[in-house]
Amino acid sequence: MIYSVGHEWTNRDFTTLGWNASRLYGWILPGREHKFLLHIDYCLKTPITDQAIGKYEIVPVELIFEDVVGLKINIDLDNYTELDITHIERTNKRSSPNGKLTYWDFHVSLSVGGEISFTSTGFTQTTLSNPIITEGFDLDREIKLLGRRGEYGSD
């Protein structure tokens, strides 16, 4: 499948997605809208060659969880400089008290042994650019996210 800017995955796609080695750059905490946004690099294809040093198809995405409650974040970066999502688990499907919404418990495992957990009705993951071929698992986007705007993957 060819992915382009604005491609979306939702809760329906959960079982086909995998967030192993997804670089986490930051988040926006839930406010009045009860949305929890993660800025990550999502690996579409790994590796895309048979070489000893692989090339990866990476795309920057916004992963937005809806109707978030009970958010807990446990991270101790200590000597680490980067933070990766290693796995996202979705469990405990149930109806809201009024029966209008379906809630899930989400558990996000992090590379430093930390975790993020919360309850949500689901998510939308949206691509911010076309996929980029790279030799690493991420696009090293800190500078762009900290204020230097431009096309993702270029200087």
**What is the identity of the amino acid at 151?**
E
Indicate the pLDDT class of residue 45, thresholds 50, 70 and 90: confident
* Rounded-to-integer distance, Cα 109 and Cα 88, Å: 6
Return the domain boundaries, the chain. Answer: 8-145
User: Sign of dihedral through CA atoms 94, 97, 103, 109?
Assistant: negative
The pLDDT value given to residue 154:
46
Indicate the pLDDT class of residue 76, thresholds 50, 70 and 90: confident
pLDDT digits (tens, 9 = 90+) for 9-34: 999 999 999 998 899 998 999 999 99
